[in-house]
Amino acid sequence: MVKTLLKCGIGVPGGRGDIEVQDMLCSTTTLPKIARPDGGLGCLRSALDRLSTLEIHAGIEGASHFNFDHLMCIVLASCIAGIGLLTDSDAFILASFFISPLMGMIMAVTWGCVIGDMSLAQRGPHIYLT
């Protein structure tokens, strides 16, 4: 857009006028409802429902902090795994994996490595090592 304005003489010294470019940050708290090609909104998400990179980063970064919910999931998963070991029940051990909060930490490490944010990448394993 700026290149097009410069070609028209806007923003060029001695041209039609000056322009200023300012940083702009946009974010939403809810997903926008985008009309699908079939005409309906539907209840299932699709590739048309996209999040911005900033929203993805904020979600992963927010879920990577150690808090009370994280601690309770670890305690509950540990109790269920302990019961599974004591009763020799594979179902209980697998159930403990399903409620363990490891996925948030794995996402933090992966996303941190992808975007080059090493403090985020180190936050995942750091919670479990301290």
Distance CA 40, CA 34 (A): 9
Distance CA 84, CA 14 (A): 78
Q: How many percent of the chain have pLDDT more than 90?
A: 13
Instruction: Confirm if 69 and 88 have CB atoms less than 8 A apart.
Output: no
Q: Is the pLDDT of residue 101 over 60?
A: yes
pLDDT digits (tens, 9 = 90+) for 10-36: 766 666 656 665 555 665 555 555 555
In this predicted structure, what is the pLDDT of residue 56?
Answer: 84
C-alpha distances out from residue 92 to 71, 76, 102, Å: 19, 12, 17
Among 39-43, 84-88, 106-110, 125-129, name the most confident range: 84-88
Instruction: Confirm if 57 and 80 have CB atoms less than 8 A apart.
Output: no
The residue written with tokens 């806007």 in the block is 10
Higher pLDDT, 105 or 35: 105
Global pTM exceeds 0.85: no
Instruction: Confirm if 56 and 27 have CB atoms less than 8 A apart.
Output: no
